[in-house]
Chains A and B, each alone.
Chain A
Amino acid sequence: MIEVQGLVKRYGSFVAVDGIDLNVEAGEVFALLGPNGAGKTTTVEILEGHRKRSAGVVTVLGEDPETSGRSFRERIGIVLQSTAIEKELTVREAIDTYGSLYPSRRETDELIEIVGIGEKADARIKTLSGGQRRRLELALGIVGDPDVIFLDEPTTGFDPSARRQAWRVIDNLRTLGKTILLTTHYMDEAQNLADRVAVIAGGRIVAEGTPETLGGRAEAETIVRFRLDAAAAEMLPAIGERITAGSGDDIEIRTPDPTRLLHLLTSWAVEHGHELATLTVNRPTLEDVYLRLAGEDPGDE
Chain B
Amino acid sequence: MSSRPSLRNLIWGQIRYQNRIFWRTPIAAFFTLAFPLMFLIVFGLVLGSEDIEETGLTVAQFYAPALAVFGAVSATYTNLAIGTAIARDEGILKRVRGTPLPPWCYLTARVGSAVYMAAISVAIMLVAGMIFYGLRFYAEAAVALVITFLVGVATFAMLGLLLAGLSPSGDSAPALANATLLPLAFFSDIFIVTGSDTPAWITRFADLFPLRHFATAFIDGFEPRFVAEQANWVDHIHWPDLGVMLLWLVGAGLLALRYFTWEPRIGEQRSRKGE
Which stretch from A73-81, A210-218, A232-240, A248-256 is at the chain B interface?
A73-81
Interface size class of A (residues with CB under 8 A): 35 or more
A71, A101, A140: the one contacting B101 at CB < 8 Å is A101
Given A73-B99, A84-B91, A104-B1, do A16 and B274 touch, yes or no (CB 8 Å)? yes
Q: Collect the chain B residues with CB atoms within 8 Å of residue A100's CB.
A: 5, 9-10, 13
A residues less than 8 Å from B196 (CB atoms): none
Give the interface centre of A80, A86, A88 by most chain B CB atoms within 10 Å.
Answer: A86
Contact (Cβ within 8 A) A88 B3? no
Cross-chain contact B274 with A88 (CB below 8 angstroms) = no
The segment from B17-25, B33-41, B48-56 that touches chain A is B17-25
Write out the residue numbers on chain B whose beta carbons fall within 8 Å of the beta carbon of A50.
94, 97-98, 263
**Cβ of A144 and Cβ of B100 under 8 Å apart?**
yes
Instruction: Tell which of B92, B100, B274 touches A83, judged by Cβ atoms closer than 8 Å.
Output: B92
Q: Does A189 contact B (CB under 8 A)?
A: no
Distance to closest chain B CB from A260 (angstroms): 44
Cα–Cα distance between A165 and B95 once the two chains are bound (Å): 23
Within 8 A of B (CB), among A94-109: 97-98, 100-104
In the bound complex, CA of A76 to CA of B99 (Å): 8
Which label, helix, strand, loop or mixed, suits the secondary structure of the B interface?
Answer: loop
B interface, size bucket? 20 to 34
Residues of A within 8 A of B9 (CB): 100
In the complex the two chains form, is A103's CB within 8 Å of B275's CB? no
Q: Which listed residue, B20, B95, B272, touches A85 by the CB 8 Å rule?
A: B95
Task: Encode A28-40 as 1/0 by CB contact (under 8 A) with B.
Answer: 0000000011111
* Residues of chain B with a CB closer than 8 A to A11's CB: 272, 274
B66-107 vs A: 1/0 string, CB under 8 Å?
000000000000000000000100111011011111100000
State whether A144 touches B273 (Cβ < 8 A): no
- Give every chain B residue within 8 A of A301 (Cβ-Cβ): 273
Using A40-B275, A42-B275, A74-B100 as known contacts, say yes or no to A97 and B17 having CB atoms under 8 A apart: yes
**Which residues of B lie under 8 Å from residue A40 when comparing CB positions?**
275
Say if the beta carbon of A70 comes within 8 Å of chain B: yes
> In terms of DSSP, what is the predominant structure of the interface of chain A?
loop
Q: CA A80 – CA B94 in complex, angstroms?
A: 9
Bound complex: CA A82 to CA B90 (Å): 8
B273–A83 touching, CB < 8 Å: no
Which listed residue, A83, A84, A97, touches B13 by the CB 8 Å rule? A97
Chain B 257-275 near chain A by CB (<8 Å), digits 1 or 0 = 0000001000100011111
Partner of B3, one of A42, A70, A89, A103: A103
Is A154's CB within 8 Å of the partner chain B?
A: no
Q: Are B98 and A103 in contact (CB under 8 A)?
A: no
Decide: A70 near B21, CB < 8 A? Known: A16-B274, A41-B271.
Answer: no
B24 to chain A: closest CB distance in Å? 4
Residues of A near B8 (CB, < 8 A) are: none
Confirm or deny: A17 has a beta carbon within 8 angstroms of a beta carbon on chain B: yes
Given A82-B267, A101-B100, A101-B101, A37-B275 contact (CB < 8 Å): yes
Q: How far is the CA of A82 from the CA of B91 in the complex (A)?
A: 7
Supply 13 A–B pairs (Cβ within 8 Å), ascending by A: A37-B273, A37-B274, A39-B275, A49-B98, A70-B102, A83-B91, A83-B94, A83-B95, A84-B95, A89-B21, A97-B13, A104-B3, A301-B273
3 smallest beta-carbon distances between A and B, as pairs? A83-B91, A16-B274, A84-B90
Q: A78-B95, A85-B92, A89-B21 are in contact. List 5 more A-B contacts (CB 8 A).
A: A14-B272, A14-B273, A37-B273, A37-B275, A69-B102
Q: Which residues of B contact A (CB under 8 A)?
A: 1-5, 9-10, 13, 17, 20-21, 24-25, 87, 90-92, 94-95, 97-102, 263, 267, 271-275
Q: Which residues of A contact B (CB under 8 A)?
A: 11, 14, 16-17, 36-42, 48-50, 69-71, 73-74, 76, 78, 80, 82-86, 88-89, 93, 97-98, 100-104, 140, 144, 203, 299, 301
